[in-house]
Structure formats: C-alpha cells, structure tokens
Structure 1
Amino acid sequence: MSRPLVIQDLYVYPIKSLAGIRLSEAKVEERGFQLDRRWMLVDESGKFISQRTFPLMVLLQVKIGEDSLTVYHQSNPDELIRIPYDYEGEENLSVKVWDDEMRASLVDKEFDNWFSSMLGMKVRLVKMPDTTERKVDPKYAVNGESVSFADGMPYLLIGQESLADLNSRLDSPVSMNRFRPNIVFSGGDSFVEDSLKKIQIGEVDFQVIKPCSRCVMVTVEQETGAKGAEPLKTLATYRKVGNKILFGQNMVALSTGVIRVGDELRPQ
C-alpha cells in the first residue's frame, strides 16, 4: 500500500517577492491564503518589482504579528517597520502585475521611504483593498475566482519528492524556498502532483489547474540573494514542455477553511 500524501509545509508571502513565512496552519481564502501577497512594492510607474530583477529583495524578512506585519533587513533586525493590517492610505493608484492592471491603495510615505532606502531605489508600498477584484484568467478559473498580487494563480502545490528528484541531478542541492510554494506535501512518487486533478486537504477542496512555468527567479538563493544558472539549467533538461520549464502545480480553492501541517492530501 502506498504511503499517504501528507502536508509537510505551508508558506505565505505577505509582501510579493519578499521572504516567505512557514506556517503550521493557514486560512484558505478565494484569492490565496489569508495575508498572502496582499501587499506589493511598485516602481514609480506602478509596475510591480520582484526578485527577477532585484534579487536582494529576499533579504527583507517578514514576520506576522497579531495586528501588523514586521519587516526588517536580515543583516540588521533592529531597523524594522510595522505595517498594520487594517491600514490603507486614502490615495489609490493603478498598478500592474504582468498584463493585469488593478486599483491598489498606497499605504504610507513612511513605508515608501523605508523600502526605498533598503533597496536603494525609489519604490512605493501598495495594498490590495477588498474591493479590488483581480480575476484569474478565464481560461483557468473554475468559478470566476479572484487572485491577490500573486503572479497569476492563488495557490502553488509541490511534492517534496519532486525536489528530491531535482536535487539528485544537481551538484549542489537547492531548497524548496527557491520555488515559493504555498503547499508542500510528502509521500508519493516524484511529480505525482502532475497527475492530480481535484484534491482535498483537511476539509478544504482544491482544483489543480495547470503546471507552473518557472523563470529566473528560481535561480536566486533565498538565504543570500545570490543568482546562478541552477536549478533552471538542469530543470530545462527534463522538465521542458514547448518553451516552458515546469515545476509545481497551480491551483484554485473550491471551498474555504483552515488547513494544517500534518493534514492528509487526498486525491478526489
């Protein structure tokens, strides 16, 4: 009898492209885990910035508090800012994530100045208001779902065995955090997630939608911000379909609730 699939890690990324946070349980909402990618840094034109072009963003660590996020540079934890969850500035602006344009709230100039100083470039911190509906591409949506500031889909699922398979082909193993998943499970064969369609975790149902196409962001070492050729170079030798390199599966939630590390992942 095959070993059950069990949730090993849950991750949330409150500010897009900054360091992620491992959780023991997470609240599943339509547009992603609660707090996931609800904030974002944009340039002066309103376009999102990410580790793809600014890899040192990963050195900004984020902690979840009762009523606020705490952000600090990993080299200087004492120089920090706190961003209250319920705080939104009165000024709105149009922001862009890839081809999607949407309204976002500027949070406060104090935060703009802090992030600009940390990153050495002029940026602004924005928050996605509840009133902003950024729809999942209709080609992939099941029930007309909305998504946060994530690249395109609310959830990313990866099996630990898939990473083990990749690492067996690399000279230096890489950590799962390179791939910025929301849900990591153990058990099963490598890339078993490719064959999943509908799954249940705890009492929550998800629909697996499509493979996740990977970019240079996975070449950023999440502990240092250093970039290299791997693991994209090796993934391209056996995970390339057409012109896309695939690793992990994008999902939408079909229901809401709380899921926990240790929950069983049950294919439906």
Structure 2
Amino acid sequence: MRLASIHRYPIKSTAGHDLTEAEVQPWGLAGDRRYLIIDEHGDMLTARDEPRLLSCVARLDGERLTLTGPHADPFPVVPDGTLSTVDVWGTPVELTDCGDAAARWLSELAGRPVRLKWLDDPTRRRIGPPYGKPGDSVSLADGAPLLLTTTASLARLDEWIAEGALERGEEPPAPLSMRRFRPSVVVDGATPFAEDEWKRLRIGDVAFRVTKGCDRCVLTTIDPATRAKGKEPIRTLSRHRKWDGKVWFGINLIPDTTGRIKVGDPLTVL
C-alpha cells in the first residue's frame, strides 16, 4: 500500500489544494483547517449550510494564506490579533479575527455577512475521551487531526451506486470524486474497506493511531465542482455501510509521531 495523495484545507468547509508532501504536526497537517468562517450571529458556518463556500479556494504559501474565488481578485489574509470565542462543535475555542477586508471579501462570496477566524494556537482545542489521550489536540477539523480514505473503498462504493441505479431503472452515474469526502490522505493498494480493521499504521516514518471510523454527513451529497445537491453517497452508504444509526466512510487518525509524509510513501499497518 502507498500514499496516493495529500490534501490540505486551510479554511474549514472551503476548497483546499493538493500537496506532494506535508509536515505532520500533533494536531494535523501543517496549515490544515486552521481557519473557519462564522455567520452574522457568531456561529460557525460550514458548506453544509452554505455550499457557496466550496467555490473559495484557500491556498497556503508558507505562512501566507491567499483566497481565490469567482467573484473578486485574489485576497491575501492578514489576521488582526483580536480574539473572540467561537463554539466549535460544542467546544468554546478562542480564535483570532482576520479583519474587515477579509470579512467583506467572503461576505460577497457567501451572499451574507460572515467573518474569517484563525486558530493561532492549535493546542487550545483538545481531543476529549473516549477518542483522545491527555495532551492530544486538533485544529478545526470536525473530530480528528487527519482523515484517511482509500481508492479501493471508493471504487466499491461507486460499484454499489451503479448497481442501485440499475435496480431503479436509471442510468448509472459517473463515479464520485474523492473530493466529496475531504480526506487528508488517500491510500492506494488496500482492499475495499480494509481500513475498518486498522488500529495503528505508519505512513513513511510517521506513526498514527486510528480513533474511529468517520461517520458521514450531508456535505458528501454536494458536488464540490457544481455545488449541486443529490442523494448520493448517503443513500447507498445507508444501504451498505450503516450501523449505530450513522453511515461510514474513511477513518480518523491521530499522529503518534511527527515528521514529513510524501506521495508514494509506503503505508504499513502496525
């Protein structure tokens, strides 16, 4: 098995960019999900509620974050140092504001008043039990520092979706893009859903533990290219991959060590 691709999303719920290599830090890939967008009420805003966020591409060059979108010229982000508390999935986290100019740029994109916030200190957000150990932290990702998916599992899911379409007398749709699942790392060479059984693994020289499978939400039903909403893959996952009242695709990882990973690195199950 090998590492097929690496993906970084500097702003939660916006489009990210691909990397050939990345630094693994205790809270995730360097620069990954360190920013988020809040609405006019101060609540976290994601593409589940505002799919237009997916048309914003956030790209890091060193420490410099630049936003691009279909509505305006590229915009360089400069946090202004003002702290405020934002609720991140039930946990209050102090975040730094990124200024009025960034707010105007993103508000025009979203069609509503929003602001951009930055997690300047990722150790502020701890991973509580039962999934984390003392000292574990996570950036602004939903629950764990990294998400791993495999090409084999997506291929099997696409087969199930095609079979279901034929049963309904429909034309099988095009295969789904892995972008719908927003993974940090994608692996080639596994058997379909073998990752369900992994407990610890190593990519290159960096070791990880698996916290749990990743339960999937409605965001996966939004085409990241067109932002059109549909029924897949939730409909098919509900048929083949549903337990504990949730549907599952991919696994969540916490780094046990740090270091660089790169595309082509071997993956070893420990």
Higher helix share goes to which structure? 2
For 1:180, which of 170, 179, 182 is the aligned residue? 182
For 1:69, which of 38, 53, 65 is the aligned residue? 65
Q: Note the C-alpha offset of 1:132.
A: 5.3
TM-score of the superposition, structure 1-length normalised?
0.93
For 2:107, which of 98, 112, 116 is the aligned residue? 116
User: What is the rounded CA distance, in whole Å, between the counterparts of 1:49 and 1:140 in structure 2?
Assistant: 25
SS across alignment from 1:46: coil
Between Structure 1 and Structure 2, how many residues are aligned? Answer: 259
* In the alignment, structure 1 residue 30 sits paired with structure 2 residue 26: yes
TM-score of the superposition, structure 2-length normalised?
0.92
SS across alignment from 2:152: helix
Q: Deviations over 1:172-220 (max 9, x none)?
A: 2210010000010001210011111111111110001100010100001
Q: Note the C-alpha offset of 1:143.
A: 4.3
Q: Deviations over 1:134-168 (max 9, x none)?
A: 11122101343111111111110111100000011
* In the alignment, structure 1 residue 51 sits paired with structure 2 residue 47: yes
**Residue 167 of structure 2: aligned partner:** none
Percent identical residues: 37
**Residue 197 of structure 1: aligned partner:** 199
For 1:90, which of 81, 84, 99 is the aligned residue? 81
Report the aligned-residue RMSD.
1.3
* In the alignment, structure 1 residue 261 sits paired with structure 2 residue 263: yes
Q: Deviations over 1:116-139 (max 9, x none)?
A: 111111111100022751111221
User: What is the rounded CA distance, in whole Å, between the counterparts of 1:256 and 1:67 in structure 2?
Assistant: 19
User: What is the rounded CA distance, in whole Å, between the counterparts of 2:122 and 2:2 in structure 1?
Assistant: 35
Runs ≥4 residues deviating over 4 A: none
Q: Structure 1 unaligned runs (5+)?
A: none
Amino acid at match of 2:267: L
Q: Deviations over 1:222-245 (max 9, x none)?
A: 111111111110111010002110
For 1:10, which of 6, 20, 31 is the aligned residue? 6
Task: Decide whether the 8 Å contact of 1:103 with 1:132 is kept in 2.
Answer: no
